[in-house]
Chains A and B, each alone.
Chain A
Amino acid sequence: MLTARGLSKRFHGRDVLRGIDLTIAPGEVVGLIGHSGAGKSTLARCLVGLERAEAGEITLAGEKVVPGKGNTRQRIQYLWQDPTQSLSPFLTATGAIMETLAGFDIGPRAGRLARAASLLETLGLPRALHDRRPHSLSGGQCQRVALARALAAAPQVLILDEPLSSLDLATQVSTIGLLREVHADTGLAMLIVSHDLAPLRQLADRILVLDASRVVEDLAMVDLACKAKHPLARAYAATL
């Protein structure tokens, strides 16, 4: 579905990405793990066009694309690390979804309000909260709105940047359940960036280990414990 070949990027004279290759098959959930500063977030941001890679190419369903431009903006959606910062303080939960539905011209105009409401409800945001703005919603509720907004675009790939790190423990557990549900319902291809293996173990089919700006291991989740060769991957496997 989504492939990247030879992505490289320098920042302040330092390589943050060195020739990254990556493939996400349709319906597959890929976990991307590594220490902070290894380049995980930069890679995710390059894939949605928030940053530009200096070298390499990205293809989506077989055709070469520029992330963030044209209809690629719709087809690859992104979930930000901190949902309270990524939702506009000026829009209600419904307003945020409507912005996406209208922006990408999805569905008939008349049905959009109902569509937004049902999407928010499916993701577990009670109807009473639909007209609230982010500052009167909890972190977990904001996360649901942000996820609903990403799904409203009807993307082909969803990229999640540390979706759990800004949430408290109880909300982390419910969010993992939510993401599993979403995947089961939509069969969406996902790339989940995390510094922690535990959530990836419950979500990912395959795992990429990033170290010092390179992909050092690319394995099916089930093989991580027995087939990992790189010391960092082995260290992660040992935490299971």
Chain B
Amino acid sequence: MSDRGSRIPGPRLIPRRLKLADPGRWPIGFALGVVLLAGFGLLALAPIVFDLPAPDEMDLLARLTGPSAAHPFGTDHLGRDVLARLIGAVPVSLGAALAAMAAILAISLPWGVVAGLAGGRVDAVMMRLADIIMAFPMLVLALAVIGFMGASLEASILGVAAAWWPSNARLVRALVLSASHRDFVRAAHLAGASRIRVVLRHVLPQVLPSLAVIISLETASVLLALSSLSFLGIGAQPPTPEWGAMLNEARPFFAQAPHMLIVPGLAVTLAVLAFNLVGEGMRSLLDKREPYRW
């Protein structure tokens, strides 16, 4: 959760990007991650195509039943179809993670870019402010924010965003700093490009590949945090279908109905895994150092 600094490769020159067309370079893990993500995308669309019971439709006569033809993943303690709830949770769980990630980027991108380009005192002040927030363990800070706002999915998104953005801003700053010291960036400024143009046309394109890696890995960690909070009962509130919240509801019954435990947990794991695999795959593409072998 906290060792991200070394995992992110520095900006690379563009010629390396040309090699991406070579399919042999794409690792299996990356392909698996993309397939998983696409699978979740299709799953979210499933209710439009197939006729599924509503996620909160109760059938009190069929409580805690195991997998059957009518209910492929069984039913929960209120007789709701676990598959329907699982699918209904895709937009909630993934949507929350993407919303949190968007909020994190909305703060950390401008913060990191301005600090990295301004340098000097502005940079120092901005980074000290980020350090103050980073002095708290991330999940602890998120808990505190939720504590002050009151438990809800929105509060948990804001709490996670508030706790996660500073480390993100640090990474962005480091990337921008090394990208803006390239000869061609300074050359473009001397040759007449305005500051805005230098940033948009010469600095950001360098940073984008590494940024994609960061975003993918961060989304994985944010998704994990948000579903943990929902599991603790201080994120998504029942009856909203959300994977972590589903597991929380399953806790009293999991000796009788283990299927309630397996399915949502697997969903969280696979979604987090997908983002991690995509991030790691892109990273290994960018990082071409070859170690010496014995």
Contacts and interface: CB of A to CB of B under 8 A. Distances in A.
Interface in A63-90: 68, 73-74, 77-78, 80, 82, 85-90
A238 to B, nearest CB: 35
B203 to A, nearest CB: 10
A68 B186 CA distance: 11
Interface stretch (B24-32, B193-201, B262-270): B193-201
A32 interface: no
A73 B197 CA distance: 16
A100 interface: yes
A146 B188 CA distance: 10
B160 to A, nearest CB: 34
A123 to B, nearest CB: 15
Contact of B190 (A78, A89, A133): A78
B15 interface: yes
Contacts of A146: 187
The size class of the interface chain B forms with chain A is 20 to 34
A102 B197 CA distance: 11
A88 B190 contact: no
B4 interface: no
A61 interface: no
Contacts of A133: 14
Contacts of B191: 77, 96, 99-100, 103, 149-150, 152-153
Contacts of A101: 192
B202 interface: yes
B13 interface: yes
Given A88-B188, A90-B205, A80 B194 contact: no
A103 B205 contact: no
Contacts of B205: 90
Contacts of B13: 89, 135
Given A133-B14, A135-B14, A88 B192 contact: no
A91 interface: yes
Nearest to A87: B184
B201 A88 contact: yes
Contacts of A50: 186, 190
B192 A104 contact: yes
* Of listed A86, A88, A135, residue having the most chain B CB within 10 A: A88
Contacts of B7: none
Nearest to A150: B191
A48 interface: yes
Interface in A109-149: 133, 135, 146, 149
B194 A85 contact: no
B18 to A, nearest CB: 8
A150 B187 CA distance: 10
Interface in A36-61: 48-50
A86 B193 contact: no
Interface string B1-33: 000000000000111001000000000000000
A90 B183 contact: no
B251 interface: no
B120 to A, nearest CB: 13
Contacts of A77: 190-191
A96 B185 CA distance: 12
Contact of B201 (A48, A80, A90, A150): A90
Contact of B194 (A86, A91, A103, A135): A103
Nearest to B204: A90
A86 B192 contact: no
* Of listed B183, B192, B197, B205, residue having the most chain A CB within 10 A: B192
B14 A153 contact: no
A135 B14 CA distance: 8
A159 B62 CA distance: 84
Contacts of B192: 73-74, 99-104, 153
Given A99-B197, A100-B192, A86 B15 contact: no
B247 to A, nearest CB: 46
B69 to A, nearest CB: 57
Given A103-B192, A135-B14, A135-B15, A89 B184 contact: yes
A141 to B, nearest CB: 15
B15 A89 contact: yes
A208 B197 CA distance: 37
Contacts of A48: 190
6 contacts: A77-B190, A80-B187, A91-B201, A99-B191, A99-B192, A135-B15
3 tightest A-B contacts by CB? A103-B192, A89-B14, A135-B15
